[in-house]
Amino acid sequence: MPNLIEILVSLAGFIADIPGMEFMTRLTVFRYQILFPMHNGDLTMQARQPGGSQLLQFVPRAVFADDFPKTLVEDYYHWLYLSTAEVEFRLATSPWTSDPSNWRLHVRRDPFQSHAMRRKISGDSTLIDLIDIRLATFKMISQLLFALESLENIIITRSPKTLEASLHRLRLAFFVSQRSEVECRSMPGYVIDEIQSSGTMFGLRNQLVLCHGSGASELSRWVFIPEGDVSFTLDGNFANVSVQTGTESHVRWHEYSIDTGLGRLIGSSKTQEGKNSVEFKVKVAVGKPETI
């Protein structure tokens, strides 16, 4: 059975003639020459363009598993520019393509300085900073959105103009308005309601209630409910119901306006996937709701 060195020589081509490198590819891979140096007894991977001086080192995803939102770990490949101590996050669909709008982690050499994670808006010079998942700002905003999405799938960013939270799996975004309310970008003027009861579907944990910032009318409240596998536990006569959205890259959700006068939820024609309007009339019984 061939050993590791024999396998690498077969795949990579030949033993490298560059100091510190064990193996290198015979041919270029997407215009990069791949190098395999040994580091602390472990074989690592580096890449450079022929004739170029820029050397990149591949960083395994496990290194970032506890430091960034899940999508920035699992949906990207990470390359460290050894000359600048900068890590570029490249989409898994374009691992060999550098882009100015990609996320970049600026690693501070000074241990007393925090690292910075930022990207440029495509076609613009505006910089967007990623909010660290350990900061109080991230925890405060993500807790408001936890009914729709797990914390590991929420991305919160800061630009010169606003603070924004992205729920990429649901294709939803929220931002902090000038009135310090969390507003839904796809429903201008609607903010997360301080009262998170829709008056129906009691016990459902995964519902987010929005209201119009001006409280303009009876039908100024909406509720978003994600699709997924439903589970429940009983507490006496009451049920605690949860919607598990799993690990899908795209999660469907539904929006309903709350008609408190007639005790119903009215499905919107704007609901995802173009679903038709649906009405739910709810009769409140003693201790628990019943759908009729």
Q: Residues of the chain with pLDDT > 70: what percent?
A: 80
For the record, the structure tokens of 114 come out as: 């925090």
Q: Quickly state the pLDDT bin for 60 (edges 50, 70, 90).
A: very high
The pLDDT-based confidence of 187 (bands split at 50, 70, 90) is very high
The residue ranges of every structural domain in the chain are 4-129, 136-291
Q: Is 27 helix (H, G, I), strand (E, B) or coil?
A: coil
200-251 per-position pLDDT tens digit: 888 999 999 999 886 555 558 999 999 999 999 988 888 899 999 999 889 9
**Mean pLDDT of the residues in the chain:** 82
Of 8-12, 70-74, 287-291, which gets the smallest average pLDDT?
287-291
Q: What pLDDT, on a 0 to 100 scale, did the predictor assign at position 53?
A: 80
Report residue 7's pLDDT band, with 50, 70 and 90 as the boundaries: very low
Mean pLDDT of 66-90: 95
Model confidence at 287: pLDDT above 60? no
pLDDT category, 279, cuts 50, 70, 90? very low
Tell me, what's the pLDDT at 28? 81
Handedness of CA 201, 207, 213, 217 (dihedral sign): negative
Q: What is the pTM of this model?
A: 0.81
Q: Is the dihedral of CA 67, 73, 76, 81 positive or negative?
A: positive
Determine the number of helices (DSSP H) and then strands (DSSP E) in the chain. 3, 24
Instruction: For residue 44, name the pLDDT band (cuts at 50, 70, 90).
Output: confident
Read off the pLDDT band of 140 (50, 70, 90).
very high
Instruction: Find out whether 12 and 19 touch, Cβ atoms under 8 Å.
Output: no
Question: For 245-252, which contacts have Cβ atoms below 8 Å and span 24 or more sequence positions?
Answer: 245/149, 245/150, 245/169, 248/169, 249/169, 250/169, 250/171, 251/149, 251/169, 251/170, 251/226, 251/227, 252/170, 252/226, 252/227
C-alpha 71/C-alpha 142 separation (Å) is: 15
pLDDT-based confidence at 74, cuts 50/70/90? very high
Please tell me the predicted confidence (pLDDT) of residue 268: 72
